[in-house]
A and B are shown apart, each in its own frame.
Chain A
Amino acid sequence: MVHGEAWTLKELFVYPNEYIYWTIQIVMYPFMTGLVAGAFVLSSLYHVFGIKELKDIARFSLVFSFALLPVAMVPLQLHLQHPERGIEVMLTPHFTSAIAAFGIAFSTYGMIVATELWFVYRKHFVETAQALRAKRDKSLPERGQYFLFSALTLGAWDISAQALAKDEKGVKIMATAGIPVACLLHGYAGFIFGSVKANALWTTPLMPFIFICSAVVSGIALCVLSYIVTMEIRKLMVTWKRKSDPSLPTPEEIRTVEMFEVTMTARYLVLALLAALGLELLDLLFRDYAKFHSWEIVRTLIYGKDFVNVFVIQYGLGNLVPLVLFLLPGLTVRRAVVATLLVLMGVFMMRWNLVIGGQAFSASFAGFMHYELPVIPHDIETFKEGLIGAILVGIMPFVFFWGLIKIFPVFRCEDSH
């Protein structure tokens, strides 16, 4: 069986070599990079534009963006037929290819986020290391911790007011530099699709901008959602722990979801959502009006075969409903959770309709292909490029985040900038 045959159904005339070659992992790839870029832009709102109300969520989203970063390349790696050669994209890039820029965009962005994180948390590293150094009879984990935090300081132990002011400046510079790089990282993912002239659905110069706007939408939505969920979990855990130890603070005393942060962030989400929706509808309107050679088959797909996916799930449930939920006065935590979940689903469906939809018709314009998502894997390929593979990629950032908050205290305000 050749690659793609396991999940492709052909209808009418399709060229013999055509299959759905880009599957759910290529849906996950722009979805995950979008979350990375969006989360970073959200954190920059506080650091660059000084929107003080977003302090909590900004630190949260910066760490979350860092946790998402390694996951952004996992789907690419999983879809390669020769994953062991994947590194060659970075080592021997062929610069006429849009994908060749991946290594540069990705590593530049990674370095910027890492540097910014270091500036934000350097004081915490130094204090933790010093506290551990002062401690006598360190246990083995404590000794490990001491070495880890000492290494993380990179030898910069000065935490005088002057040095910290410099740190703050560093954060601002990195956050400022990070915005265009985050946009580049994701805009170029859009370019990868938008520049494929052979694909009637993908080819549009608007693609990078559509990608950036929807990235900001999804990134903010995920940060708001995770912020609310983690805060609520913390509250539950404290209540539970207090049963055995009443000296612990009450759930009311610990930091909980700050509603004004959610409301404020939702405002930016709505703006980005409107921009993304505007661009997407402009693209659709233009295609419908210009009626290129390919329009007939694209129309059959969008208005016919994929109608529910595109208009009901993506635009309706994924865009319009959350827009109404956010815009109605008196936003509550519960409503924000529902709206952000719908937004995330909407952005995911946008990627799905683009990646899978773009391959749903033959280059002959005389036939269609259907993607049957492998749910239960029966070999390595249907595992990697099926539901299980996608779920693994979806879970990974949360696992990384859980590990990272052991080093970067996201929830303690006084430790950092």
Chain B
Amino acid sequence: MNRRDFLKNSITVIAGLAVPLSALELINPRKLLAKKDGESAVRWAFLVDTQACVGCGFCVKACKTENGIPHETNITRTWVERYVVTKTGKTYIDSPKGARDGFTANRIDLGEEGHQEIDKDDVEKAFFVPKLCNQCENPACVQVCPVGATYQTPDGVVLVDRKHCIGCAYCIMACPYGVRSFHPEYKTAEKCTFCYHLITRGMKTACVDACPFGARKIGNLRDPDDPVTKTIMSGRVGILKEQYGTKPQVYYLALSREVK
């Protein structure tokens, strides 16, 4: 082989290799993985440990700051409920301002009915339950939106397009969990997004980061090695309002029957 032929053949081989190599370059492996079996490689899920929650409200505050919900506004993407069950079997529930400032007083907020003092000796059990959007597998809110402004991402999070929402409130009516509201400034449907702008960049949600007790965790259900997935799969977890068939994806450890 002379030098001329060598160069000629080399160019052919390089050109030949370049085609499949460029194909590898063009196709993002993450996208390939995402398309496996027609399903996304990620399915976000949330795990709440009600035993660990102390009702400090740091999560609510962090969420409001992170997601631009005015601090004084009486809506919130996430909140904490307090349950107090007395020895006579009566259940008291409250969540003043969504527990934005934490539960600092013993008395129960009954709204227009005022407040209720409960004697410590009368308390049979008391606990806190953090709430947020369940990012349902079968979201009623997405189904009822008349213009498709609210939608489910391939990794399971339900989002709202503020440019298209007409503000009819049908989604708010359709949600059995009461997680939706109207944003006071944008006047569009507002809801928890699992901090989608953070989790898709490898970060945690604002509430998860803010929780000092590890009561809130987020994970990928499609990753069998994810500790959250492991707990959900092997632990004894509960979900909220199963009867509506929405298939909620926020799982609760030690969920008590009083929880609404």
Contacts and interface: CB of A to CB of B under 8 A. Distances in A.
A35 B177 CA distance: 34
B225 interface: no
Secondary structure at the B interface, as helix, strand, loop or mixed, is loop
Contact of A10 (B112, B131, B177): B112
Contact of B169 (A22, A363, A365, A367): A22
Interface in B151-192: 164-170, 172-182, 184, 187-188
Given A14-B111, A16-B98, A96 B169 contact: no
Interface string B62-75: 00000000000111
A79 B168 contact: yes
Interface residues of B, number: 51
B182 A13 contact: no
A17 B166 contact: no
B97 interface: yes
A313 interface: no
B76 A363 contact: no
A98 to B, nearest CB: 7
Interface string B235-260: 00000000111000000000000001
Given A79-B168, A364-B260, A196 B173 contact: yes
A362 B76 CA distance: 16
Contacts of A198: 140, 173-176, 244
Interface in A4-25: 4-5, 9-19, 21-22
Interface in B131-147: 131, 140, 142-147
B260 A366 contact: yes
B110 interface: yes
B146 A94 contact: yes
A2 B93 contact: no
Contacts of A98: 144
Given A88-B166, A196-B173, A13 B260 contact: yes
B94 A13 contact: yes
A11 B181 contact: no
B173 A22 contact: yes
B229 interface: no
A1, A17, A88, A363: most-surrounded residue (chain B CB, <10 A): A17
A97 B166 contact: no
B95 interface: yes
A92 B173 contact: no
Contacts of B176: 197-198, 363
B194 interface: no
B113 interface: yes
A338 interface: no
Nearest to B183: A2
Contact of A97 (B76, B93, B143, B179): B143
B137 to A, nearest CB: 15
Contacts of B169: 21-22, 79, 81
B148 interface: yes
A354 interface: no
A99 B260 contact: no
Report the contact-size class of chain A (Cβ under 8 Å from the partner).
35 or more
Contact of B187 (A19, A22, A81, A196): A81
A407 interface: no
Contact of B111 (A9, A82, A363): A9
A192 to B, nearest CB: 8
A17 to B, nearest CB: 4
A293 B243 contact: yes
Interface string A92-108: 11101111101000000
Contacts of A14: 111
Nearest to A101: B146
B260 A365 contact: yes
A371 to B, nearest CB: 13
A3 B112 contact: no
A99 B147 CA distance: 9
B110 A11 contact: yes
B175 A97 contact: no
A80 interface: yes
Interface in A349-382: 362-367, 370
B173 A199 contact: yes
Contact of A2 (B140, B147, B181, B243): B181
Contact of A17 (B93, B167, B178): B178
Interface in B116-142: 131, 140, 142
B44 interface: no
B87 to A, nearest CB: 19
Contact of A11 (B111, B175, B178): B111
A271 to B, nearest CB: 33
A1, A94, A99: most-surrounded residue (chain B CB, <10 A): A94
Interface of A: 1-5, 9-19, 21-22, 76, 79-82, 85-86, 88-89, 92-94, 96-100, 102, 192, 196-199, 293, 362-367, 370
24 contacts: A11-B110, A11-B113, A12-B110, A12-B111, A13-B92, A13-B111, A17-B75, A17-B172, A21-B173, A81-B187, A85-B164, A96-B144, A97-B144, A98-B144, A99-B144, A102-B146, A196-B144, A196-B173, A197-B176, A199-B173, A362-B178, A363-B175, A366-B91, A367-B111
